[in-house]
Amino acid sequence: MLEKINPTRTNSWYRLSDHFDELRDRSIIELFNDRRFEQYSLSFEDMLFDFSKNLVTDETMDLLRALARDCQLESSIKDMFSGEHINETEDRAVLHTALRMPEGSPLTVDGEDVNKQIWEVLRQMEKFVGELTSGSWKGYNGNSIKTVVNIGIGGSDLGAVMVYEALTPYHSTGITCQFVSNVDGNQITEVLNSIDAGETLFIISSKSFSTIETMTNAHTARQWLLDQGAGEEDIKKHFVAVSTNEQKVKEFGIDPRNMFVFWDWVGGRYSVPSAIGLPVMCAIGSENFFEFLQGLHEMDNHFRNAPMEKNIPMTMALISIWYNNFFGAETEAIIPYYQYLHRFPAYFQQGNMESNGKSIDRAGGRIGYQTGPVIWGEPGTNGQHAFFQLIHQGTKLIPCDFIGFAQSHNETGNHHDILMANFFAQTEALMVGKSREEVALEMKIAGSSKDEIKELSPFKEFSGDRPTNTFLLKKLTPQSLGWMVSMYEHKIFTQGVIWNIYSFDQWGVELGKELASNILKELEDGEPTENHDSSTKGLIERYKSWHQ
Ligand code: F6P
C-alpha cells in the first residue's frame, strides 16, 4: 500500500524551500559551463533527454531525489508493478505495465496469471485483424472491410487516436480508421456520411459499456446500418466490442465471441496497449503493434531499474515538481515538432490531468499545496505563430517539453531542417533571451533613431530564463512512440506518489454526469425546470423555448 506522507512535512522539502530562496534569482544561462549539457542530459536507446536548460543545480537534483526517497517512491514502484491494490479508492491493482510484458512472463495477480490472459486477447486481436485484412471477414453485402470506426470517449478514444495518427507512416493494412467520441450528433453524422455501410466495421470501445456518449453513438450507428439495408442478423458482422462488461455487450446485440476484453486493473487513460488499441492494430498490423508494446515495456524496465540519477521519467517528474511547487508554475506545455504527434499533447492532457488533478490526499485530507498542472500544447512550428508570444514575453512561467526527431518520414526538400532549426532556436531563445542593450544595438545598426530605440526597445526585449526540456529522438517508430508514452505515464505516477494523491481514480468526472442525466429528463419530458439555481434554470428554459 502506498504510504501517506505529506511531502511538505519532509526534511527534503524544507531544504528545497531554503535552496529555492538561494537559487530563485539566478539565471539558467549563468549555470552553464562546457560540461553542463553532458551532466544534465540522459540517453535511452535512440533518445536523448536534455534537461540542462532548467534552473537546477546538482544540489537541486539531489534534494529533489531525496524528496522522492522521503516519499517512498521506490517501494511505491514495486507495489505498482507487483499488482498491489494501489488504486485504493476503487480497490484495484494498477497494471497497465503488465499489458506490455512479453508473452510467457508469468505475473500472478489476485490468483490469476494476467500475462496469459493478456496474450490470449492480443492473439485474438491479431487473428481478427488477419481476417479483416485478408478479406475473409465480410460485411452484410459480401464486401470486405475497408473502414473501421472506433466509437469511444476519453481513455477509450484519445490513446487510440493519438497512436493511430502518430503511426500514420506505418499504416500498412489497407484499413483506415475514423473515430467518433463526442455525443454531439454533428460528429457521427459527418462520419456516417463519409463511409460505405457494407465495408465498415464499428468497434464499440468502452470499459464500462455504459458511458452515455459512447452508447448513444453506438445505437445511432446500429440504426444507421439497419437503415442502409442490413438486417438484425448482420449486426455481428459490423460490430465488435472492447470492454470489461460482457453482460452489457450482449445486451447491445454483439456476439460475445466478437468481444475483446480487458480488466478493471487497466485505467481508461492507460489502456491503449490493451484491446483498446484494436483500431490501431487494424491499421498498422500486429507486428507494428507488438513493436509499440515492446517500446513501452523497455521504458517500463528503465523506470523500474535505472538509478534515480539516470532515470528519465523520475527526472522529468522532479523538475516539474520544482517549478510547480516552488516557482508556482501552473501549467506545462508539450510541444512536439512532428505533425504526426499532433494529438500527443491532448492524450497526455487526459493522462496527466485526470490522474493528478486532485485536492484530497491519501489520508482523505484537503491538500495545502499544488498538485497536477494544466497540460496543453500543439505541434511546432504552428505553436510559434499562436501562443509562443506568451511563453517568451508573458508574465507566466511555463515549463515546456520540446520533442523532435533527427529523421523525418518525409524529408520533402529542406522542410525537416527548417522544422528542426526552429526546434533548436526556440529552446535557445527561451533560455538566452535578448537584453535591452542588445535590442538597442541591433536597432542602431539598422538605422533607428535614438528616440525610436528608447520608445521601442522595451517591447523587443526578451527576459529569457524560460525553462525547457528537450527530447531528441532518432526517428518516430512504433517502438520509440512506446518509449515516450511509458515515459510520460511514469512521470505522472512519480508525481502522484510524491504529492500523496491517488492517481488512478477519477471521481471528479462523476458530478457533471449525474447532473446531466437529471437535466436530460427535464429536456425530454417538457416538465417545468425546477431545483436549479436561477442561472441554470434560465439557460435551460431559454434552450427549451428555442429548441422547438
Ligand atoms: O471521463 C471519465 C472516464 O471514466 C474516463 O476515465 C474514461 O476513459 C472515459 O470516461 C470512458 O469510459 P468508458 O471506457 O467506460 O466508456
Q: For residues 348 and 357, is the Cβ–Cβ distance under 8 A? A: no
Query: 211: Cβ below 6 Å to ligand 1?
Result: yes
Q: Tell me, what's the pLDDT at 316?
A: 99
Query: 206: Cβ below 6 Å to ligand 1?
Result: yes
Strand partners, 112: 109
For the chain, the first-to-last Cα distance in angstroms comes to: 55
Residue 441 has pLDDT above 90, yes or no: yes
Q: What is the pLDDT of residues 247-261, one digit of tens each?
A: 999 999 999 999 999
Residue 30 has pLDDT above 90, yes or no: yes
- The answer for residues whose C-beta is within 8 angstroms of residue 405's C-beta and 6 or more apart is 337, 338, 472, 473, 474, 475, 476
Residue 526 has pLDDT above 90, yes or no: no
Q: For residues 274 and 266, is the Cβ–Cβ distance under 8 A? A: yes
Q: Tell me, what's the pLDDT at 110?
A: 82
Residue 109 has pLDDT above 90, yes or no: no
Return the higher-pLDDT residue of 527 and 17: 17
Q: How is residue 244 annotated by DSSP?
A: S
Can 513 be counted among the known catalytic residues? yes
Query: 268: Cβ below 6 Å to ligand 1?
Result: yes
CA of 534 to the centre of ligand 1 (A): 31
Rounded to an integer, the average pLDDT of 503-510 is 95
Q: For residues 107 and 157, is the Cβ–Cβ distance under 8 A? A: no
- Which has the minimum average pLDDT: 31-35, 99-103, 510-514? 510-514
Rounded to an integer, the average pLDDT of 530-540 is 93
Residue 462 has pLDDT above 80, yes or no: yes
Residues of the chain with pLDDT > 90: what percent? 96
Query: 147: Cβ below 6 Å to ligand 1?
Result: no
By C-alpha distance, which of 180, 192, 242 is closest to 217?
Answer: 180
Nearest ligand 1 atom to the CA of 271 is 8
The residue nearest atom 16 of ligand 1, judged by CA position, is 206
pLDDT band at residue 424, thresholds of 50, 70 and 90? Answer: very high
The helix, strand and coil proportions of the chain, stated in percent and rounded to the nearest 5, come to 55, 10, 30
Can 385 be counted among the known catalytic residues? yes
Query: 274: Cβ below 6 Å to ligand 1?
Result: no
CB atoms within 10 A of CB 174: 13
Q: Tell me, what's the pLDDT at 530?
A: 81
Q: Tell me, what's the pLDDT at 529?
A: 79
The residue nearest atom 10 of ligand 1, judged by CA position, is 154
Q: Tell me, what's the pLDDT at 99?
A: 98
- For cell 439497419, name the residue: 226
Mean pLDDT of the chain: 97
Select from 509, 510, 511, 514 the residue to mutate for testing ligand 1; criterion: most ligand atoms less than 8 Å from CB: 509
Q: What is the pLDDT of residues 286-328, one digit of tens each?
A: 999 999 999 999 999 999 999 999 999 999 999 999 999 999 9
- The answer for residues whose C-beta is within 8 angstroms of residue 475's C-beta and 6 or more apart is 46, 405, 406, 407
Q: What is the pLDDT of residues 55-86, one digit of tens each?
A: 999 999 999 999 999 999 999 999 999 999 99
Residue 548 has pLDDT above 80, yes or no: no
Q: Tell me, what's the pLDDT at 45?
A: 98
Query: 509: Cβ below 6 Å to ligand 1?
Result: yes
Can 298 be counted among the known catalytic residues? no
Predicted model pTM = 0.97
- For cell 532556436, name the residue: 425
Query: 407: Cβ below 6 Å to ligand 1?
Result: no
Which candidate in 291, 354, 378, 489 is catalytic? 354
Query: 214: Cβ below 6 Å to ligand 1?
Result: yes
Residue 488 CB-half CA count within 13 A: 28
Residue 12 has pLDDT above 90, yes or no: yes
Rounded to an integer, the average pLDDT of 345-366 is 98
Nearest ligand 1 atom to the CA of 354 is 6
Q: Tell me, what's the pLDDT at 232?
A: 94
Q: Tell me, what's the pLDDT at 423?
A: 98
Q: Tell me, what's the pLDDT at 457?
A: 97
Q: Which amino acid is at 471?
A: F
Rounded to an integer, the average pLDDT of 394-417 is 98
Q: Dig out the grid coordinates for 78 from the structure.
A: 514495486
Measure Cα distances from 191 to 127, 150, 151 in Å.
27, 11, 11
Nearest ligand 1 atom to the CA of 268 is 8
Nearest ligand 1 atom to the CA of 158 is 8
Q: For residues 501 and 361, is the Cβ–Cβ distance under 8 A? A: yes
Q: What is the pLDDT of residues 444-458, one digit of tens each?
A: 999 999 999 999 999
Nearest ligand 1 atom to the CA of 205 is 14
DSSP letter string, 24-72: TTS-TGGG--TTHHHHTEEEETTEEEE--SSS--HHHHHHHHHHHHHTT
Q: Tell me, what's the pLDDT at 330?
A: 98
Q: Tell me, what's the pLDDT at 2?
A: 87
pLDDT band at residue 527, thresholds of 50, 70 and 90? Answer: confident
Nearest ligand 1 atom to the CA of 214 is 16
CA of 246 to the centre of ligand 1 (A): 17
Q: Tell me, what's the pLDDT at 446?
A: 97
Select from 208, 262, 348 the residue to mutate for testing ligand 1; criterion: most ligand atoms less than 8 Å from CB: 208
Rounded to an integer, the average pLDDT of 418-425 is 98
Rounded to an integer, the average pLDDT of 473-489 is 98
